[in-house]
Amino acid sequence: MKSYLSIAVLFLSFVSISCGERARTSGSVVASLDTVYYASGFMVTGHEGYTVAEVADPWDSTKILQRYILIDRDQPMPSGIPQGTILRVPVKNVVVYSTVHVAMLDLLGEVDKVVGVCETEYISTPAIREGLAEGRIADLGQSTTPNVEKMIEIGTEVIIASPFQNTGYGTVEKLGFPIVEGADYMERSPLGRAEWIRFYGLLFNRTQKADSLFRKTEERYLALKKVASAVQEKPSVLSEKRYGATWFVPGGDSYMAEMYADAGADYVFKDLPGSGSLALSFETVLDKAIHADYWLMKYHDDCPLTYKTLRGEYTPYENFDAFKKKQVYGSNSAEVPYYEEAPLHPDYLLEDLVKIFHPELLPEHTLRYFRPLDD
């Protein structure tokens, strides 16, 4: 099977690179709409002297969330540009709200441009941890209420943040800081989300590197998907666990639902509409997923989750078949870089899922993110 996967990767590499070569353009056009292969959340068009990058409204497909006008910082302002937020590129100084965008800049080789971050407890990127320890990178607190005074003090040029429906950015927005709306988490496909690295590459004049990184991810993901497509039996799977009185599960149109399908599994909530997380009651989840073959969950804790501690959190968990049959897997983001890697490398996560659902297909793979719970 290992040799089969290698052949599939080589074949898909040839196809992808060939397509990539045909899509390239010359002159001042950095990219255009037909070069976005999977993502639905952004569009890019090149013009003489500037590039227009638009972020679609994830909650209303008829609207544009933001339009950015990217202009070389060493060139004069071109005439006749459309209305939008002007960004001089390459960006030299950036504040980042989320760990996944920190990881994107790290992959692009631009993490040295980060001057401030939020929610540092979730960031494990070595360069950021080192910068925080040495005082070169500012800890701006929580993304919902960042330290605006410190943002001004460090000379923030651009902010990268994730938008949420009917929620603004408060004082940060009122002060006029240019905010790049990172709506990648709302993509409906794993490769669509991963392709956003090409969008961020535009901000730092790293288009070629971003394209190369994405092509490698695409090639490997499609090869793994092909391996899993041959399975006859598809085990059912339940996702996440309750927090408070609510159980949030990925919607049936989400990239996680698609990833379960690509891994050869039957997601129990695949018929629920929506690309984001849906809030359900425990009773609803139990009724639908009591007989699910596998149960996968993510959590953040200093101590690994066990069947004993899971039962201690909420005794009714033991009613699920996956609990009884010891088919529960957890990913502890306090120990593994799930949130930093998986959105950018869905191939890493898909490999884990194929190994869990169909271990015979990848006998030599060691799980990267998930671990079976101990007693």
Return the domain boundaries, the chain: 2-218, 230-372
Give the whole-angstrom CA distance, residue 323 versus residue 374: 11
pLDDT exceeds 70 at position 176: yes
Give the whole-angstrom CA distance, residue 154 versus residue 267: 46
Question: Which residue reads 């013009």 in tokens?
Answer: 47
State residue 11's pLDDT score: 36
Question: Which residue reads 């960042």 in tokens?
Answer: 146
Instruction: Look over the chain and give the mean of its residue pLDDT values, rounded to a whole number.
Output: 90
Convert 3-21 into a string of H (helix), E (strand) and C (coil). HHHHHHHHHHHHHHHHHHH
pLDDT exceeds 90 at position 33: no
Do 230-372 and 2-218 have the same topology in CATH?
yes
pLDDT in tens, 193-237: 999 999 999 999 999 999 999 999 999 999 999 999 999 999 999
- Alpha helices, DSSP H, located in the chain: 2-23, 99-108, 126-134, 148-153, 171-174, 190-194, 196-203, 207-228, 255-262, 282-289, 307-313, 321-324, 338-341, 346-357
State residue 155's pLDDT score: 94
Name the band, by pLDDT with cuts 50, 70 and 90, for residue 27.
very low
Name the band, by pLDDT with cuts 50, 70 and 90, for residue 35.
confident
pLDDT exceeds 50 at position 14: no
Name the band, by pLDDT with cuts 50, 70 and 90, for residue 275.
confident
For 27-31, 262-266, 299-303, 335-339, which range has the lowest pLDDT when averaged over its residues?
27-31
Instruction: Give every CB contact of residue 129 below 8 A, 6+ residues apart in sequence.
Output: 123
CA torsion 92→28→218→106, rounded to 10°?
A: -10
For 16-30, 243-257, 331-345, which range has the lowest pLDDT when averaged over its residues?
16-30
Question: Which residue reads 């933001």 in tokens?
Answer: 66
pLDDT exceeds 90 at position 22: no
The CATH H-level superfamily of 230-372 is Nitrogenase molybdenum iron protein domain (3.40.50.1980)
State residue 8's pLDDT score: 42
State residue 29's pLDDT score: 38
The CATH H-level superfamily of 2-218 is Nitrogenase molybdenum iron protein domain (3.40.50.1980)
State residue 90's pLDDT score: 96
Phi, psi of 138 (to 5 degrees): -85, 135
For the record, the structure tokens of 135 come out as: 């005082």
Work out the average pLDDT over 238-260.
95
**CA dihedral over 334, 336, 340, 343, signed as positive or negative:** negative
Kindly list the strands in the beta sheet with 294-299, ordered across the sheet, starting from the edge strand earlier in the chain.
266-267, 236-239, 294-299, 328-332, 371-372
